[in-house]
Amino acid sequence: MGNLVMLSAPNSPAAEAYRTLRTNLTFAALEAPLRTLLIAAADVGDAAGVTANLAVALANIEKRVIALDANLRQPALHTSFGIPNESGLSEWLADPSSAPALVKGPVEGLHVLPTGKRALAAADALASPRMSAALDRLKEMADVVLMLAPPVAAFADAAVLSTHVDGAVLVVVAGKTRRAHVEQAKSLLQRAQARLLGAVLIQP
C-alpha cells in the first residue's frame, strides 16, 4: 500500500495528526452537515495519501466511509490502498444503471471507488448530472464520502466538484507549494461558493 500511516504506524505523530484532523472535521460538522468532503492539493502534494489516511481514521470510529477517486486525469487512490483500478467511477458514469464497483478497504466500514479505466473527458464528466446523481447514490451508502480531486490550481475539475460537496480541504506541501497557487486555489473554491474548511500541511 501507499503511505498509509494509519495502518503502518498507528502510534506515530503523523497518524495522530490525522486523528486531530478527524476531530476538527467532527466539530465542523456540528455547524453544518459534512457528509461529503473534497480533498485536493493546491498545486502539488499527496492528496491521495491524505484522503486514504483520513478515510481509515474515520472508519476507525465506526463510520461507514467511501473513498472516491474523482481525479480522472491522474488516478492515485488505488495506489494508496494497494487495490486494482480495473473498474470504477468512469465506468459507472458511462453506465449509471450499473452498480458502482466498490472495493472493500483495509478496515471495517471502508470502501473505495477508484477511477476505473474508461477514457472520459474529465471536466465534462465531472460537471454532468450523472456525477451529481452518483454522489447522491454514494451518500445513501455511507456516512461520509471523501472525494479526491485533481490539483485546484491546475484544472477546473476541483472547483466544479466542490459545488457538489459539503466542504473542501486543501493539501499544502511545506516548502513546495507556492503561496500564489494556494491563494489561486482558495480564490477558485470561494468563487464556486465552496465551504473551504482549511488546509492540511504535509511534509515532502
Task: Provide CB contacts within 8 A for 123, sequence distance 6+.
Answer: 155, 156, 157, 160
Question: Does the pLDDT of residue 2 top 80, yes or no?
Answer: no
In one letter, which amino acid is 51? Answer: T
The β-bridge partners of 202 are 173
pLDDT tens digits, 92-134: 999 999 999 999 999 999 999 999 998 888 888 999 999 999 9
Q: Greatest CA span in the chain, whole angstroms?
A: 45
Distance in angstroms (rounded) separating the CA atoms of residues 195 and 191 = 10
pLDDT tens digits, 28-37: 998 999 999 9
Domains within the chain, CATH numbers bracketed: 17-202 (3.40.50.300)
Locate 195 and state its grid cell.
465551504
The β-bridge partners of 112 are 67, 103
